[in-house]
Structure 1
Amino acid sequence: MTDDAHAPTSPDRSPDPTGTQTGARPPAGAPVGGEDTAGDRPGWVRDTVVFLGGQTVSLFGSMLVQYAVLWHLTLQTRSGAVLALSSVFGFLPQAVVSIFGGVWADRHNRKLLVIAADATIAVTTLTLALLMLGGADDLWLIYAALAIRSAGAGIQTPAVSALVPQIVPTRHLMRVNGINATIQSAMMLVAPAVAAAVYASADIVAVFFVDVVTAVIGIGLLLLVPVATVVRTATDGPVSYFGDLVGGLRYLAGHAFVRWVLVLFAVVFVLIVAPSYLTPLMVARTFGPEVWKLTANELAFSIGMLVGGGVVAAWAGSRSRIALIVGSTVAFGGISIALGLSTNLWVFLGFMLLLGLAVPFFSTPSTTVLQETVEPEMQGRVFGFVGIVMAVAMPLGMAIFGPLADVVSVELLLVLAGVALFVVVGVALAMPSGRRAVEAARRSATPEAAAVPSDG
């Protein structure tokens, strides 16, 4: 989630926590256009490293809490209903708030929104820690904290995604997003071990305190990055929040290419993420319930994502985003079928590694192409809709595939999901917007921003 850093800091680039800047150089994101006609903005590397470094620290603390809460509820209650409710409180508020979070990201300074969300989450976590130190252990306290943290993510996620193009020049977005994916994958490997060590040696309250510290560090680093409020296109008068929300929906309705990317993202997310969460069940049923086998399943996927993110960062910057999205979707389909047909554990683990490897080749160009294509003043709302998809797709997919896994084998579900992904690719490429995107990809190395912006 970071980029290389060698750019010196000059006196006219003093940090300004208000999001404005009076020095000779413009603050990040001041231009409303996305073209690099005058070259890369001076100091962007330093700003990118500081910003994404802070976000990485904050993400690490959040992941510790995620694992610790799951384990705590499992060990203390041993109740499937409790875990199900925790998932609802952990996902649903983000889906709801993302609707408005995207609008706020287009109306207000995105840096200040991220800081406010981080601070609210940190205060909530600190309050829960102090209450538990005082002896409170009611489940509703944990549910309430999960809901507030989820709502904060609904504000933070679209703001961060829309803020990155304000800092990073367009031609470097794929690389930076690839590094972002690599670091997130590394966190997936490291966070469970650290959370387990802290939770085992102390308790869940200690994990909460670690999260508060990481949030403070993340906020402090973000304060060092100058980020301007995006200049909005002139209108006939002030626009209400509801008017902005309707404007975002109209934008999606009229922008065939962006709509095509979002729909493809949503369908693929449902068809591949939910079945992949059932792979531990297949391992236990088919290969045996030993803990090391379940651990190997998770490690194979995480290592694959780690390697895939690195490859995307190092190699895919100049590649067609559409080709990567379509190619990785085809790979998802083939790998899903192969997983379902695997009869040997090591072969199965090999395909899990390949599945993880393919994920950054889909998620990174999907994010990048939206950052490159969508106008700066609309990116918050568009990424708000992306956040809704990400928050809803997992519960929706599990609601479909979970009960089916008790009726038919997981192997069959994986094969069917793979076949469905092939059908999705065919339908996507047959759509007019899909054909235009592919044609644009053939004309240019980074063509997607030139895709037809409307149905007309």
Structure 2
Amino acid sequence: MNSATHNDKSNWYKNIVLFLSSQAISLFGSSLVQYAMMWYITLSTESGVMMTIYIICGFIPTFILSPVAGVWADRYNRKMLIVLSDGLIALATLILAILFLMGFDDIWLLFLMAAIRAFGTGIQTPAVGAILPQIVPKNKLTKVNGINGSIQAIIMFVSPLVSAALLGMATMEIIFFIDVVTAAIAIGTLLIFLKIPLHEKAKDKQTTSYLSDFKLGLQYVNSHDFLKKFFLFFALFMVLMAPASFLTPLQVARSFGDDVWRLTAIEIVFSIGMMAGGAIIASWGGFSNKVKTMGFATVIMGVCTFALGSVPNFWIYLFFMGVFGVAMPILNTPATVLLQEKIEEDYLGRVFGVMGMISTSMMPIGMLIFGPLADMVKIEWLLIGTGAFIMCLSLLLVKNHVLIEAGKSSG
């Protein structure tokens, strides 16, 4: 038993290359479809309401499922959960491709597809967050999470370009089939090549109900002061981030001009920033205290948000958008690693499930607050205000003794 675990740890490099490769292939196919569906709805309806319905369909199932999926990630084989969720999405995509080929191309089918994809993502996210500490030594988690962030940023940069090119040359069905093939490759890689031992809780016979397991997870969070403060910080941060995340394209169109190249430029510059940020945190590793690294990144994001609301020149605006992108992985990576290092393995899935609920609910709540305000006051004022609040939040973060204590490296 011990020798198998030791052997697995010594093979961690091969395992993580296989795991991240399979995730990248799967994410690339999913992103192609995501963008294709979004543009198909935009071009065929030109309706803001239809886009809102599509976005809601992509958020709500993940939010609803996150607590249950967190319990699953602690109870069952995490690798198989990832495989099953990928398989579910691929099967739904295949059925959709066949329906489109037969001439059934109603918009509501795409809404249903967005919901199924969100359902699959809801299952997968806690499992991925919880599985990494099983296959990566603790002292390599920051590097691996940073590399993973960079890979995701590269895919988010490349996939809209490839998706747009494919839409110009091929039909929606072809893009759906590409996603099915990439999912099959990813599933095959995980099943055939990746060997991950079961975590302890999954080996035991489950004697408690899902609800009592979820309650135990909430009690675990409640009994750890640093977790309560950590989640409170993230909830407030996500709400304050909503204007910078969702209203900047509208701001650019209103203040600088509605040329398509401007809207494309802010997306590209932000993606390049995220790639660079992922590489920086992977090689640098952050300060010795992870919470100080998070505070540093939060200050930068606050300053950038404030600047996006106050700079008069579009090129300077783009510069701050790029720096904003750089700061994103420098915040997210140590936050993820902090949870992976500090949480007992049996509770990892449920804690990441709670994190999933916060990340999928707080930004839409922020939009419910700031979206209507954007039609009453200038978006610039919303950015200046939220930027100032984010800077104050970073100060509260680094001055909190409980969080600073939790942020110290564990060996």
The TM-score with structure 2 as length reference comes to 0.95
Deviates more, 1:230-239 or 1:63-72: 230-239
Q: Counterparts in 2 of 1:270-289, with a 5 A limit? A: 270-289=239-258
- Taking the aligned partners of 1:233 and 1:350, their CA distance within structure 2 comes to 48
Q: Is the contact between residue 58 and residue 117 of structure 2 (CA under 8 Å) also seen in structure 1?
A: yes
Partner in structure 2 of residue 25 of structure 1? 4
TM-score under structure 1 length normalisation: 0.86
Q: Which structure 2 residues correspond to residues 139-288 of structure 1 after superposition, within 5 A?
A: 139-223=107-191, 224-232=193-201, 238-288=207-257
Q: Report deviation, 1:254.
A: 0.8
Which letter does structure 1 place at the counterpart of 2:346?
A: E
**Which stretch of the first structure deviates more once superposed, 313-322 or 119-128?**
313-322
Deviations 1:207-245 (A, max 9, x none): 111111110111111112112221139999821111101
The answer to whether the Cα contact below 8 Å between 1:330 and 1:421 also exists between their aligned partners in 2 is: yes
Q: Which moved more, 1:216-225 or 1:275-284?
A: 275-284
1:397 counterpart = 2:366: yes
Q: Which amino acid aligns with 2:212?
A: G
Within the alignment, does 1:85 sit opposite 2:53 as a pair? yes
Cα distance in structure 1, aligned partners of 2:303 and 2:275: 20
**Matching residue's letter, 1:310:** A
Residue aligning to 1:345: 314
Q: Report what 1:13 is aligned to.
A: none
**Range 309-318 or range 188-197, more displaced:** 309-318
SS of alignment partner, residue 267 of structure 1: helix
Equivalents in 2 of 1:23, 1:177: separation in Å?
26
* Residue correspondence of structure 1 range 281-360 to structure 2 within 5 A: 281-316=250-285, 319-360=288-329
Distance in structure 2 (CA, Å) of the matches to 1:251 and 1:23: 28
| Segment of structure 1 superposing worse, 300-309 or 267-276 | 267-276
Q: Is the 8 A contact 2:76 2:202 kept in 1?
A: no
Matching residue's letter, 1:195: S
Counterpart of 1:54 (choices 19, 22, 26) is 22
Q: Report the aligned-residue RMSD.
A: 2.1
What per-residue deviation string (whole Å, max 9, x for no partner) do you get for residues 85-122 of structure 1? 11111110011011100000000000001101000010
**1:363 maps to which of 332, 355, 377:** 332
How far is 1:265 from its partner?
A: 1.8
Aligned position for 1:117? 85
Structure with the higher fraction of residues in helix conformation: 2
Please state how far the C-alpha of 1:439 moved relative to its aligned partner: 4.4
Q: Secondary structure at the match of 2:10?
A: coil
Contact 1:89 1:146 in 2 (8 A): yes
Aligned equivalent of 1:384, options 353, 364, 383: 353
1:102 aligns with 2:70: yes
CA deviation map 1:149-195 (0-9, x unaligned): 11111101100110011010110000000001111111111000111
CA-CA distance at 1:304 after TM superposition: 0.7
Structure-2 residue corresponding to 1:37 = none
Q: Retained in 1: the 8 A contact 2:75–2:206?
A: no
Tell me if the contact between 1:157 and 1:387 (Cα under 8 Å) persists in the aligned partners: yes
Residue 291 (structure 1) shift: 1.4
